[in-house]
A and B are shown apart, each in its own frame.
Chain A
Amino acid sequence: MNRTPVTGLAAAMALALGATALAAQAPAVATRPTLGPAPRLVMPAVQKARLPNGLAIEVVPMHEVPLVQASLLIAGGARLDGSHPGLATFTANMLDEGAGSRDAFALAAEVAYLGATLNTGASWDAVTVDVGAPRRTFAAAMALAADVVLRPRFTAADIARQRGLRLASILQQRDQPGSVAGLVFNAMVFPAGHPYHSPLNGDSASTAALDSAGVRDFWRRAADPRRATLVVTGDVTLAEVRALAQRLFGGWKAPAMPLPAPGTPAEVPRPATRIILVDKPGAAQSVIAIGGPGVSRRSPDYPAITLMNTILGGSFSSRLNDILREQKGYTYGAGSGYSWRPLPGPFNASAQVRSNATDSSLAIFFREFRRIRDSGVTATELDRGRAYLVLGSLGDFETTGQVAGSLASLTILGLPLTTIPSDLAAIQKVTAADVQRAARTYLDPAHFTVVIVGDIAKIRPGIEALGLGPVEVRDYNGREVGG
């Protein structure tokens, strides 16, 4: 593999042959262009307000396009599930199955008629109601969103139907090796009782137990304006949004209970590296997921960790993708990432590899984890990763949806939008030593959980021969089975 730029060769030849003579023969592409200075990132400014009931408002006016994007975020999400996995996501999905004067059909029809979108859902850490609309119909679309948040119907018949649909989708997860790997990975990395242990959408048993009373009780606890933020971007002003929010959400009352204190993160154990196999007889590929508990988004090492991961598995040219895909041809793509959540989310490296390369791929993953810890990164990798992150961010704020999305995800983390430019400035200053230190501190291959969904009969001997750690077999729920 020749990494010497041909432009260098051409320049040397030009000296030897005489520049004029060569210029007549060499095509223009013989010389790689030099680029002018990169544009600077101009961050949109956020304007803020708050309603008397506690609802926070954040607005980024963007007037180029007559579109508006809004996200109502209510902190909590699946972390409030307690002993009922899937309750938050189920309740959030029920919000637009009928609200105010409209049933599910009338609501969907009205949203579409307005040229709008209305989506409800929950993540680990928040319930979200997203609205997109042309400026002209934005107020009408937000009125529907207010119905959904303040006046959901939660009828027994609607709940029974959606419960049946969710049971079907949980059943179908078994068909998807990638989903199975993710569920088993979370169940193994996070201990029972930790909010990230259980499936976001629950399991068959917790879903079968969902009922109208439970959903109503959850929403009474969760729908609290004191921990809600309305993020709006696009062709609006702060004054317009504040007046609209006051009219639609001004009557939203907090539940008669103090805000629950933010929980202290449960201790996540870091057992010695172990390998969990989930059988999929006849599988054409093995799905590999490797990792462990990650790190807080508020860590001062965030810039170094992000750059380290970009070089390890966070870009096409990263080591994991380059070796497993581009050099070995074992996979269509390999990568790694840290999940940034209010509590430390997992670090996860993954690939789907052809079955007979499962052991070889696993060996390369672990070799690369150790190599970046032991030998650090090159100056070329460092420069490339830095530019990829810093200059790549220039396209992240083009649309109302992108700006609303950035603002929303930072709001859930309790961080302002100015975090982005300050992180990028910090990434500019990260050194090779910082990257290596981040790898040594936050990438711990001696304490990783490896989950592999594949054809056990074919792949097990090779995996055991690597001697990475004990090998055990579990089912698609992460429960132990013999073997």
Chain B
Amino acid sequence: MAVLFSVLPAFRPSASAQALHVPYVLDTLSNGLTLIIHEDHSAPVVTVNTWRHVGSGDETQGRTGFAHLFEHLMFMGSEHAVYPQFDRLLEAAGGDNNGSTTNDRTNYYEEGPANALPLMLWLEADRTGWLLPTMDSAKVDLQRDVVKNERREGVDNQPYGLADETIAAMLYPPSHPYSWPVIGSMTDLSAASLEDVKNFFRRYYAPNNTTISVAGDVKPAEVKALVEKYFGEIPRGPAITRNAPAPFSLRADTMAVLEDRVQLPRLYYTWHTVKAWAPDDAALDLVAYLLTGAKNARLTQTLVYDRQTASQVQAFHDSRRLDGEFDVIATARPGHSLPELQTVVDAELARLAASGPTARELEQAKNAREASFLRGIERVGRKADQLNRYYYQIGEPDGFQRDLDRYRAVTAADIQRVVRTYLTGPRVILSIVPQGKRELAAKGRNTP
């Protein structure tokens, strides 16, 4: 942390142009494995953060949810670290671990005392090179059950839980890999076989599709030697080629109404936007803050404070490798219906498009975003993940300053332009209403 923060501009209004710099060592093994190392000796801890460049977007239809199910199987033991050693050996060394899957990537981390680094790399290497010898149908069946419970907990037994996958299916064409949910469908989870596991592993978990970011109280030469020792013998896998999905745009508003076991109706607007790091990506992130990032943000102030027709409102921009989307989600207060909220959301977007934010509003948005960005990378675990993310997205691990700069560069005119370009056109309109209360649902444009 000392290295990271000693040079950063302490606070935005000073606008001193010093660069935020996270030093790293980048190395590639002959089998294609990429290694990023960042030294930070401020606490006696280390994180091994591994990205596999595969996500639910690489799944085939009929096997949705497979990338995430596979993530679970990575903890089920490998030839030399047989089940359940992965978790037990790490805990016995004072460490912790987890993994996560998105549309684009799957990540894993092990974190703990600095002396546990060889164990972490050994465990990660063994499952990278020697996962299949101990993999069997019983393990697939077991984690299939666990994942189905994860889906029940997060989707089926969750109020409004079907929103995300309903919107994805309405926004993206069926051939687009973002049109199905990361968690997958129960039917597809049931269909996943041991053969699928083997093929997926051989195709996507080879060293040349893997980057490892090690951050913490380490010496780069020792990290390199350990990685070379444990990963060096794993053969390179086939090169991965992907066909870009056909470009698409939403031609007209698309509407749906779901009844759910909920007390209050909720409105979802979703627009198709741009991919991560596209020129308008940062401006759209700031639009989300301007709408609902603080009590004085436009939609929060109008809907929750002034008119008091909504109990909650939230906007966010989610940009990924292939495409992005912008969501506004508003829950009515008791006694109010979704068309009342629509009128306000539409009017506020029109107002932002017409006259843009004030200088002070934009400055607040930038300061708040920058402060939370900097607080977010205080821990080595978060820095390690961010180094991996930047390497994946822009081919440069130390993308911190570049990332900050693109937000600093956004002007009021940019805000106006991106609202007009992306958030006034066709959108997905989803209403989730209490059972039997379809009359509370949103209305289409031009519907009296």
Measured CB to CB, the nearest residue on chain B to A384 is B92
Would A329 and B146 count as touching, CB distance under 8 A? yes
Q: B44 on the interface (CB 8 Å rule)?
A: yes
What is the 8 Å Cβ interface bit string for chain A, positions 379-403, against chain B (1 contact, 0 not)?
A: 0000111011011111101111100
A-B contact count (CB 8 A): 251
When chains A and B are docked, how far (Å) is the Cα of A107 from the Cα of B301?
A: 13
Q: Which of B99-107, B119-127, B166-174, B394-402 contacts A (4 or more CB under 8 A)?
A: B119-127
> Which listed residue, A327, A354, A398, A401, touches B149 by the CB 8 Å rule?
A354
Verify B263–A316 contact, CB threshold 8 A.
Answer: no
A326 within 8 A of partner (CB):
yes
The answer to whether residues A384 and B88 also contact, given A33-B118, A67-B375, A113-B363 and a CB cut-off of 8 A, is: yes
A112 touches B368 (CB 8 A): yes
CB atoms of A326 and B142 under 8 A apart: yes
Count class of interface residues, chain A: 35 or more
- Which of A27, A135, A165, A317: most chain B Cβ within 10 A? A27
Q: Which of B84, B113, B129 is within 8 Å of A27, CB to CB?
A: B129
A171 nearest CB neighbor, chain B only: B263
List CB contacts (< 8 Å) of A99-117 with chain B. 104-109, 111-117
Contact B2 A285 (CB under 8 A): no
Q: A172-B311, A329-B145 are in contact. List 4 more A-B contacts (CB 8 A).
A: A104-B296, A395-B43, A398-B43, A399-B379
Looking at the complex, which one of B84, B149, B217, B308 makes contact with A329 (CB distance below 8 Å)?
A: B149
> Does B364 sit within 8 A of A, measured CB to CB?
yes
Asked whether B119 lies within 8 Å of A35 as measured between CB atoms, the reply is: yes
Q: List 24 A-B contacts (CB under 8 A).
A: A1-B83, A1-B84, A2-B82, A5-B85, A7-B80, A29-B81, A39-B115, A65-B2, A66-B5, A67-B5, A105-B296, A105-B305, A164-B308, A168-B311, A169-B311, A172-B263, A175-B261, A284-B156, A317-B88, A329-B145, A385-B91, A388-B92, A393-B94, A394-B43
The 5 closest A-B pairs by CB, nearest first: A391-B94, A329-B145, A39-B44, A115-B371, A175-B159
- Check A457 for interface membership: any CB of B closer than 8 A: no
CA gap between A387 and B380 in the complex, in Å: 21
CB distance A352 to B94 under 8 Å?
no
**B189 adjacent to chain A (CB < 8 Å):** no
Known: A391-B93, A392-B94. A398 touches B380 (CB 8 A): yes
8 Å CB contact of A67 from B144, B232, B378:
B378
- Residue of B whose beta carbon sits closest to that of A32: B122
Query: Which residue in B125, B152, B308, B380 is a CB contact (below 8 Å) of A161?
Result: B308
B157 to A400, Cβ gap below 8 A?
no
Counting CB contacts under 8 A, is A431 at the interface?
Answer: no
* CB closest chain-B residue, reference A108: B295
Q: Report the separation of the CA atoms of residues A315 and B112 in the bound assembly, to the nearest whole angstrom.
A: 14
B111 interface hit (Cβ, 8 Å)? yes
Query: What is the bound-complex CA distance between A284 and B293, given in angstroms?
Result: 34
Let me know if B129 and A29 touch, CB within 8 A: yes
Q: Are B371 and A134 in contact (CB under 8 A)?
A: yes
Specify which chain A residues have a CB less than 8 angstroms from the CB of B305 in the assembled complex: 104-105, 161
Are B295 and A104 closer than 8 Å at their CB atoms?
Answer: yes
Name the one of A10, A27, A285 contacting B152, with C-beta atoms under 8 angstroms: A285
Of A29, A64, A387, A397, the residue contacting B230 (CB under 8 A) is A29
- Of residues 306 through 336 on chain A, the ones whose CB sits less than 8 Å from some CB of chain B are 315-317, 322, 325-327, 329-332
A39 and B129 contacting across the interface, CB-CB below 8 Å: no
Q: Are A65 and B368 in contact (CB under 8 A)?
A: no
Query: At the interface, yes or no: A360 with Cβ under 8 Å from chain B?
Result: no
Interface centre among B80, B126, B230, B301 (most CB of A within 10 A): B80
How distant is B143 from chain A, measured CB to nearest CB, in Å?
8
CB of B249 closer than 8 Å to a CB of A: no
Q: Check if B153 sits within 8 Å of A6, measured CB to CB.
A: no
Q: Which of A339-384 contact B (CB under 8 A)?
A: 352-354, 383-384
The CA-CA distance from A309 to B436 in the complex, in Å, is 45
When C-beta atoms are compared, the residue in chain A nearest to B333 turns out to be A168
B363→A316 contact, CB < 8 A: no
Contact B43 A397 (CB under 8 A): yes
**Chain B residues in 8 Å Cβ range of A137:** 11
B367 touches A35 (CB 8 A): no
B263 close to A174 (CB less than 8 A): yes
Q: How far is the CA of A132 from the CA of B11 in the complex (A)?
A: 13
CB distance from A144 to the nearest CB of B (A): 13
Which of A113, A280, A397, A399: most chain B CB closer than 10 A? A113
Given contacts A108-B296, A387-B93, A387-B94, contact A115 B119 (CB under 8 A): no
- A389-446 contacts to B (CB < 8 Å): 390-395, 397-401
Chain B residues with CB under 8 A of A112:
293-294, 364-365, 367-368
Q: Within the complex, what minimum Cβ distance (angstroms) separates B62 from chain A? A: 23
Within 8 A of B (CB), among A172-187: 172, 174-177
Q: How far is the CA of A390 from the CA of B89 in the complex (A)?
A: 15
Interface residues of B in 234-264 (CB under 8 A from A): 261-264
A401 to B89 Cα, complex, angstroms: 29
| A392 contacts B96, C-beta separation under 8 Å | yes
Give A28 to B232 CA distance when docked, in angstroms. Answer: 9
Task: Give 1 or 0 for each of B121-144: 1 = CB within 8 Å of chain A CB.
Answer: 010011001100000000001111
A3–B82 Cα distance when bound, in Å, is 7
- A35, B157: Cβ atoms under 8 Å? no
A322 and B84 alpha carbons, distance in the complex (Å): 10
Which residues on the A side are within 8 Å of B57 (C-beta)?
none
A392 touches B95 (CB 8 A): yes
Q: How far is the CA of A317 from the CA of B114 in the complex (A)?
A: 21
**A29 touching B93, Cβ below 8 Å:** no
Neighbouring A residues of B333 by C-beta, 8 Å: 164-165, 168
A398 pairs with B379, CB closer than 8 A: yes
B334 at the interface (CB under 8 A from A): yes
Asked if residues A400 and B378 are in contact (CB atoms below 8 Å), the reply is yes
**How far in angstroms is the closest Cβ of chain B from A382?**
11
A283 nearest CB neighbor, chain B only = B157
The reply to whether the CB of B438 lies closer than 8 angstroms to some CB of chain A is no
| Bound complex: CA A175 to CA B311 (Å) | 15
Chain B 301-341 near chain A by CB (<8 Å), digits 1 or 0:
10011001001000000000000000000010110000000
| Cβ-neighbour of A353 out of B2, B89, B149, B380 (below 8 A) | B149
- How many angstroms from the CA of A28 to the CA of B263 in the assembled complex? 58
CB-contact partner of A167 in B126, B232, B334, under 8 A: B334
CA distance A329 to B84 in the complex (A): 15
Taking a contact as CB atoms under 8 Å apart, the answer to whether A109 and B296 are in contact is: yes
Is B12 in contact with chain A by the CB < 8 A criterion?
yes
> A255 near B: Cβ within 8 Å?
no
Per-residue A-contact encoding for B1-41, CB less than 8 Å = 1, 0 else = 11011001011101000000000000000000000000000
Please tell me if the beta carbons of A33 and B113 are within 8 angstroms of each other in the complex: no
Tell me, yes or no, whether B69 is within 8 Å of chain A by CB.
no
Q: Are A113 and B378 within 8 A (Cβ)?
A: no
Q: B346 an interface residue at 8 Å Cβ cutoff? A: no
Complex: how many Å from CA A390 to CA B112? 11
Q: CB-nearest residue of chain B relative to A105?
A: B296
- By the criterion CB–CB under 8 Å, are B295 and A105 in contact? yes
Query: Does A282 reach chain B (CB closer than 8 Å)?
Result: yes
Decide: B114 and A39 in contact? CB cutoff 8 A. yes
Chain A residue at minimal CB-CB distance from B159: A175
Tell whether B229 is near chain A: CB-to-CB under 8 Å. Answer: yes
Give the shortest distance, in Å, between A11 (CB) and chain B (any CB): 12
Complex contact B118–A35 (CB within 8 A): yes
* Residues on the B chain within 8 Å of A35, using CB: 93, 115-116, 118-119
* A64–B3 CA distance with the chains assembled, in angstroms: 9
User: Could you tell me the distance between the alpha carbons of A27 and B334 in the complex, rounded to whole angstroms?
Assistant: 65
- Answer yes or no: A15 CB below 8 A from chain B CBs: no
Residues of B within 8 A of A161 (CB): 305, 308
- Contact at A136–B10, with CB atoms within 8 Å? yes
Closest to B8 in A: A66
Question: Chain A residues near B112 (CB, 8 Å)?
Answer: 391-392, 394-395
Residues of A within 8 A of B1 (CB): 64-65
Complex partner residue of A37 from B92, B95, B115, B159, CB under 8 angstroms: B115
**Roughly how many angstroms separate A135 CA and B144 CA in the complex, as a whole number?**
49
- The reply to whether the CB of B45 lies closer than 8 angstroms to some CB of chain A is yes
Give Cα distance in the complex from A38 to B44, angstroms.
9
- Check if A459 is an interface residue, CB within 8 A of chain B: no
